[in-house]
Amino acid sequence: MADLKTPHHPLFLREEELRYSIELMFFAYRDFTAEADTMLASCGLGRAHHRVIYFVGRNPGINVSDLLAILNITKQSLSRVLSHLITDDYICQEQGTTDKRQRLLSLTDKGKTLEHDVTMIQRRRFAQAFKSVSTNDVTGFISVMEAMLDDKTLPLLRRTPMTRMK
């Protein structure tokens, strides 16, 4: 985007564009999470529970260490939500076969249903947003969001066929 640095785009515009992006990030993330939070609250759960359910659903049979690496929280923090989810039968654990110390996590049917319903709310918002813009805009969104990530975050991301197509 070299032209942002040319005289055609004076400095104040660049500054404004960056501040505008910061504000978009704040407001979009807030609106993005609000609806799902409401549904979760009606089940007595919070955003942290959804994250666990989401990534366990995405990685069935994941062990605790790997889940911690994705969530980037302490095991004590995870323990609180995870034991809640196990008690309420959203998640089940089974002992690892090659390494019996591991507890491999999977969603129960109840967990799958909840994951689907909550994530559906967020998918719907993206689907509606994508419908209102061009295909080019969607790939632009994805490119920018990927460029925002830390290097160490990249390996945590499941790349889609679409992204690989580019």
Partner DNA sequence: AAAATATGTCAACATGGCTGACTTAAAAAC
Partner DNA sequence: GTTTTTAAGTCAGCCATGTTGACATATTTT
Query: Looking at 7, 42, 100, 132, which residue binds DNA (CB under 7 A)?
Result: 100
Choose the contact partner of 126 out of DNA, a copy of itself, none; CB within 5 to 8 A by kind.
a copy of itself
- 100 φ/ψ angles, rounded to the nearest 5 degrees: -75, -5
Contacts of 11 (CB under 8 A, 6+ apart): none
Q: Evaluate whether 98 touches 61 at the Cβ level (below 8 Å).
A: no
Q: Evaluate whether 64 touches 102 at the Cβ level (below 8 Å).
A: yes
Choose the contact partner of 81 out of a copy of itself, DNA, none; CB within 5 to 8 A by kind.
DNA
Is 113 an interacting residue with respect to a copy of itself (CB under 8 A)? no
Cβ closest to a copy of itself, residue 98 vs residue 134:
134
**Nearest-angstrom CA–CA distance, 160 and 147:** 16
* Per-residue interface string for the shown chain with DNA, residues 64-83, x marking contact by CB under 7 A: xx------xxxxxx-xxxxx
In one letter, which amino acid is 60?
P
Choose the contact partner of 75 out of DNA, a copy of itself, none; CB within 5 to 8 A by kind.
DNA
Q: Cα 123 to the chain's mean position, in Å?
A: 11
Write the DSSP symbol of residue 97: S
Radius of gyration of the chain, Cα coordinates, nearest whole angstrom: 19
Choose the contact partner of 85 out of a copy of itself, DNA, none; CB within 5 to 8 A by kind.
none
Cβ closest to a copy of itself, residue 61 vs residue 120:
120
Is 11 an interacting residue with respect to a copy of itself (CB under 8 A)? no
Choose the contact partner of 48 out of a copy of itself, DNA, none; CB within 5 to 8 A by kind.
DNA
- 95 φ/ψ angles, rounded to the nearest 5 degrees: -65, 140
Using CB under 7 A as the criterion, which residues of the chain lie in contact with DNA when the complex forms? 44-49, 51, 63-65, 72-77, 79-83, 93, 96, 98-103
